[in-house]
Structure formats: C-alpha cells, structure tokens
Amino acid sequence: LSETAQDTRRLLSQVVKEAESMVDAALPHLDPVDTEPTRAGHAPSMRSKFPQDIPSVPGPSGIVTDEIGIARSAFNGGPLGELVQWSDLVSTLHILGHHLHLSASITDLKIFLGGLKSGCPSMPTLEPNLIYTDILGLQQMQKALPNIWSKYQCKIRILDSFGTEPDFNHVSWAKGHNLSSPYGGLNLIPLQFYTMFPHTPDNTFLGFVVQPHWSDEENKKLESIKRKNQALVYGKRASFWKGKTAYLDTIHKYLDLHGTVDNGALIPSYVTNHGIVKGAEVHALLRESKVFVGLSFPFEGPAPLEALANGCVFLNPRLNPPQSRLNSEFFKEKPNIREVTSQHPYAEAIGEPYVWMVDMDNSTDVERAVKAIINQTIEPYIPYEFTCEGMLQRVNILIEKQDFCNSTTSWPPLSTLQVVTAEVGASCKDTCQKQGLICEPAFFPHLNSAQSLANYGINCQTTEHSGGYLVLPAYDNNSKHCVFQSDPLLFSCVRSHLSWTRVCPCRDYIKDQIALCKACL
C-alpha cells in the first residue's frame, strides 16, 4: 500500500474508533434495543448487544482508493466534502451495529467479493447485504469482477454528490438523446443514487453530519470563544479567490477578513491566512466570526452548514444565470440538468437571518447584506437531518426498509401516497412541493394503470403504454387519452411536458427529515 492509501485507512479506522466512543453518548438518547431481525434480514433498529449476528455491509469506495486518489489532495485544499460524507456513513453503519468491511483498493475488492486468496486463511469471501460505493467504484467493480458484479446490482448504493437524473442513468435513452456523460448510463434504479443534499426526489438523500462530536476539553475551548468583528472567507484554494477582490474589499470595510487558503501569497494582503487547517480549527474560526463569506465556489459543500452550526451567518452568492451542465465547466459532465441558483441552494432555502443572498458584483447589495448581518446575532442552527441523530435515524430506516432486490415489497408505506395532478407543463417535483409534499418515485408503479387512476377520479377514455417519455403516467386533458410508462427506469419526478398533465405520486415528510415520511418511523 502506498502512503496515501495507508493514510486513508488510518483515517477510516480512527473514525471507527471514535464512533465506538460515541456509541455510549448517543445510544441512551436513542433507546438501545435488542430488536427482532427485520423483514429484509438487515440490522436491528439500533446497535445490538450481539453485533456478530448482524449481516455485513461492505463499503468499497472508488474515490478513496489509491487508484483514484482523492485522499491525496485532502491535505492541500482538495475536495473534502466527499470524505466528510464517507466518514459519517462509516461511523453511522458502525454505530448501528453492522459488520462493516472497508475496501480502499481493487485488490481488497477482489479478496472481499471475488474469492481472491488474501494470504489470511480465516478470511472468507463475503456475502454482503449492501455495498456502498461511488460511480468510479462501481466502474472499478464492473471491470475487476465482470462475471459477478451483476449479482450485487440490487444491493448497491452509489454515493453521488450532485445526483443522477433518470434520463442520464438510462443507457440507451442517454445515448439516443445526446445525454451521455462519463458518470451516467449505469442503468440502476435512480433511488440507488445517494446524494449529499436532497437535490432531486428521484435519488435518495443520504446527507452527512454537521454536528461535531468534541471532547469535553475541546467543547470548553470552543464555548469560551468570543465572537469578533470578523469574517471567514470560504475558499481553500487561492484560485477560488480570483476576480473577487472588489467584493472582498467591500466586506473588509466592515469586518476583518480571515481565510484558510493553500497559497496566501495570491490573496489580498489584509486577509489573515491560517493555511489549510484541521476541522476543529475551522469550527473555532467560525465561532469567532460573524459571517462566512461564499466566493461562489465550491458548490454545495458541507462548510456553510458548519458555519450556521457555529452561529455564523453564511453569505451566499447568487449564480446569475443559474449554473448547470448547459453553461458550466464544473457541471458539464454531471449526469443531471439541475439548475444551481446560488453557491448553496440548500442554504438558500434556509434563508434569513441565517443565510443572506448576495450579488457579488453589486457593491450596494453586498453592503446592504453585511450591514444587516453585523447588526444581528443568530443562535447556532443545524437542520435535524444533518444532526447525528437525524443521520442515524435516516440511514437505519433506509437499511431496514429500502429494498431493490425484492419486487414484491414496497416502501414507503402505500398509505402515505397522495395523488396530485399537475398543471400542464409542470413537473411532479414542483407539483408535490407546492402542496407541502415531496414526489415519491417508489409510488409511480402504483399509478401506472387505468384502473389505479380511476381510483383517483381520473377516467381514461383511451390508453397506451410508451417508453418514449419521462413524464408518465400522464394524460391529455381534452381527449382523456392516458399514457403509461413501459420502462420503469424512466419514471421521473423532475421532468415536465408542455402538452401532458402529469399524475404525481406525492407523500408527506417529517419536518427537517425530508427522506422519511411521517409513517416511516
């Protein structure tokens, strides 16, 4: 193993050790139980007293393998968001009591799943219940284990930061419609893609944990920190600061500026640069700052939520025009056409007083926001879905209930289905959202026949099945002609059609836990 892979291993095993020490703190609150084995034979609700009885869940991860090497750039300003999510997932699975096998190289993958001799006679080939990987990891699996990977297809969960929409996932649709992308065409069920934020209901929201678990000593230190007239700039790489000097000059009229930047020589001289620092130091800097200043990149990272958790406002640059694969180098190869309206759309939805939107090129707008921010104080805020408890609750239920191997089971419970007809030209994502609900793609098959639509007052005069649209089931309001989906991989919440009325499967959700319906607990 190279040094980097060993570092990654050390990091992950340290995470597991830390997780172990968190168990005692977390579980009294979460009511530990020895529950009955669940329907799918997965783990019990909370950590069992007999973890050896619990099925295994390996997590071979593409990006952390030495062959891909994201871990290599982790200590010099490279993306850490994905590693935050992997660490949190590993900790969560461990706390929930699963047997976890980590693979950070193709050789390990072959030993775990492909029967390659490990040199360790007691190491059996695994029969995993679930496999967590990412898009590159899946591609590695398909290449390394070409004869057996399809056996695991329904057990795979893909960590996919920005999401994969159904048309990009569907290999022949993508080819035929010029939507090919190096990360698309995997032909999985779209809910098998697990995202960082709830970007699209077509995928599953996995998330991560924002709430840090500090030692008593670290906690005391953080609590003693006083807030200063200070801003921390969100930009680990000096290249993110390029062209932003006028914007920073305006903020600097009101606040001292600090940064954690790889190369301090390339940023304005009035900025106090701390270099790339450890997570605890970022939190300490956020505690003493009034505002965390977005520079419009990186998109959709964990750090703005860490700012709010430390009582520090996030200044969120608008992206005008919104960025997507159609106009942005960064999103060009991503397998979706979602439009990103600001550096952090999830934070944008949280809104004031925690998140202030700003037009970076308009100094009047910047001054307006900064003046308002320095005259207010906010309490630390973490949406429930990003707390330790929220993540444990969500992942536990997903493991117990979400099952793509068995077509006779259905989850979420059908009792939560609320059928809403969209306006012509509207998507189901927007239609459900307007009603305070969320589109639930798992329910599409239940609406995909004339008989089922009749139960909801939609009477089809004529019917047809088609694999040529992403908006089905749908109907023509005048002729009462109904069209049903013939290809289940093309069910999609996000698309709309100018002449079809969509029939939308919506459900409710727990406040601040959008992945779960109210009856899901």
Closer CB to ligand U2F, residue 330 or residue 404? 330
How many angstroms separate the CA atoms of 500 and 71, rounded? Answer: 47
| 161 forms part of the interface with ligand U2F (CB under 6 A) | yes
- Residue number, 298 or 383, with CB nearest to ligand U2F: 298
Closer Cβ to ligand U2F, 84 or 442, answer by number: 84
Residue 389 has a CB neighbour count (10 Å cut-off) of 15
Exposed, middle or buried, 25 (CB in 10 Å: 0-12/13-18/19+)?
exposed
Burial pattern 259-293, b for ≥16 Cβ within 10 A else e, equals bbbbeeeebeeebebbebeeeeebbbbbbbbbbbb
Q: Does 302 bind ligand U2F (CB under 6 A)?
A: yes
Answer positive or negative: Cα dihedral of 245, 251, 257, 258: negative
Query: Cα dist. 71→92, 159, 421 in Å?
Result: 20, 16, 47
81 scored as a contact of ligand U2F (CB under 6 A): yes
**Could you please report the per-residue DSSP string of 5-60?**
HHHHHHHHHHHHHHHHHHHHHHHHHH----PPPPTTS---SS--S-GGGSPEEEEE
Question: What residues contact 478, with CB distance under 8 A and at least 6 apart?
Answer: none
Is 489 a residue that touches ligand U2F (CB under 6 A)?
no
DSSP class of residue 271 equals: S
Binding-residue pattern over the window 195 to 234 for ligand U2F, x denoting contact by CB under 6 A:
-x--------------------------------------
**What is the distance between the alpha carbons of residues 57 and 111, in angstroms, rounded to a whole number?**
15
What 3-state class would DSSP assign to 76? helix
Tell me: does residue 276 bind ligand U2F (CB under 6 A): yes
Q: Which of 55, 79, 322, 488 touches ligand U2F (CB under 6 A)?
A: 79
**Closest CB to ligand U2F among 41 and 279?**
279
Among 82, 88, 403, 440, binds ligand U2F (CB under 6 A): 82
Does 397 bind ligand U2F (CB under 6 A)? Our answer is no
Q: Which residue in the set 100, 231, 303, 391 belongs to the binding site for ligand U2F (CB under 6 A)? A: 303
Residue 293 has phi, psi (to 5 degrees) of -95, 110
Minimum CB distance to ligand U2F smaller for 23 or for 232? 232
Report how far residue 173's alpha carbon sits from residue 190's, in angstroms, rounded to the nearest whole number.
14
Q: Which residue is nearest to ligand U2F (CB)?
A: 81
Residue 274 vs 465, nearer CB to ligand U2F: 274
| Residue 216 structure tokens | 């008593």
Taking CB under 6 A as the criterion, the residue among 184, 301, 335, 412 binding ligand U2F is 301
Q: Does 298 bind ligand U2F (CB under 6 A)?
A: yes
Backbone φ and ψ for 9, nearest 5 degrees, come out as -55, -50
| Cα 137 to Cα 135: distance, rounded to the nearest angstrom | 5
Binding residue (CB under 6 A) for ligand U2F from 42, 157, 170, 236: 236
Taking contact as CB under 6 A, which single stretch among the options 15-23, 110-118, 245-253, 296-304 is the one that binds ligand U2F? 296-304
List residues bridging with 342 in a β-sheet: 318
Which residue, 196 or 517, is less far from ligand U2F as judged by CB?
Answer: 196
Smallest distance, Å, CB 258 to ligand U2F? Answer: 11
For ligand U2F, give the closer residue by CB, 129 or 323: 323
Question: Considering only residues 19, 84, 366, 482, which one is a binding residue for ligand U2F as defined by CB under 6 A?
Answer: 84
Stretch that binds ligand U2F, among 28-36, 271-279, 393-401, 403-411 (CB under 6 A): 271-279
Nearer to ligand U2F, 116 or 280 (CB): 280
Stretch that binds ligand U2F, among 185-193, 293-301, 405-413, 423-431 (CB under 6 A): 293-301
What whole-number distance in Å separates Cα of residue 316 and Cα of residue 287? 18
Query: Which residues of the shown chain bind ligand U2F in the complex (CB under 6 A)?
Result: 79-82, 84, 161, 196, 236, 260, 276-279, 282, 298-303, 306
